[in-house]
């Protein structure tokens, strides 16, 4: 049974997944699609690690996946030519940060 203290982390991850799906579907350049697919895969890794969360070491693994996703998302945002998509990128980065804060607080990870 999932730890109820992580409910907000799961909600933020669900929102991030939805936003990345929306970004991917609206991508104007097919060459970016593989990067969007990689980002979606990294979010799946983060979810798998969140579901296996048991201690500070596994919490660090969650944080590592979130940081990787954030870096990928940042690259895509910089490379995106559509300013109207900026709110989706911002919202997704905010959600990744929410997950990281929840996990770090529960498992007392250093910043």
pTM comes to 0.91
Region 4-106: CATH code: 1.20.1440.210
pLDDT digits (tens, 9 = 90+) for 25-84: 887 766 567 888 999 999 999 999 999 999 999 999 999 999 999 999 999 999 877 788
Distance CA 81, CA 65 (A): 26
Provide mean pLDDT across the span 2-30.
89
List the alpha helices (DSSP H) in the chain.
Answer: 7-25, 33-51, 56-79, 86-106
Rg from Cα positions in the chain: 14
Q: What is the enclosing helix (H) or strand (E) of 65?
A: helix 56-79
pLDDT of 82: 79
Per the model's pLDDT, the better-predicted residue between 11 and 29 turns out to be 11
> Residue 14 pLDDT > 80, yes or no?
yes
**Domain limits, the chain:** 4-106
Provide mean pLDDT across the span 84-96.
94
> Residue 15 pLDDT > 80, yes or no?
yes
| Nearest C-alpha neighbor of 53 from the set 10, 3, 109 | 3
pLDDT of 111: 67
> Residue 24 pLDDT > 90, yes or no?
no
Per the model's pLDDT, the better-predicted residue between 28 and 13 turns out to be 13
């Amino acid at each position: 049974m999932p730890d109820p203290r992580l409910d907000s982390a799961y909600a933020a991850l669900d929102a991030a997944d939805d936003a990345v799906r929306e970004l991917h579907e609206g991508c104007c350049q097919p060459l970016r699609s593989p990067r969007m697919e990689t980002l979606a895969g990294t979010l799946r890794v983060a979810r798998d690690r969140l579901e296996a969360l048991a201690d500070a070491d596994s919490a660090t693994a969650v944080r590592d996946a979130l940081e990787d996703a954030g870096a990928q998302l940042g690259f895509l945002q910089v490379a995106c030519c559509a300013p109207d998509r900026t709110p989706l990128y911002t919202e997704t980065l905010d959600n990744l940060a929410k997950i990281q804060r929840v996990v770090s607080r529960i498992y007392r990870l250093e910043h």
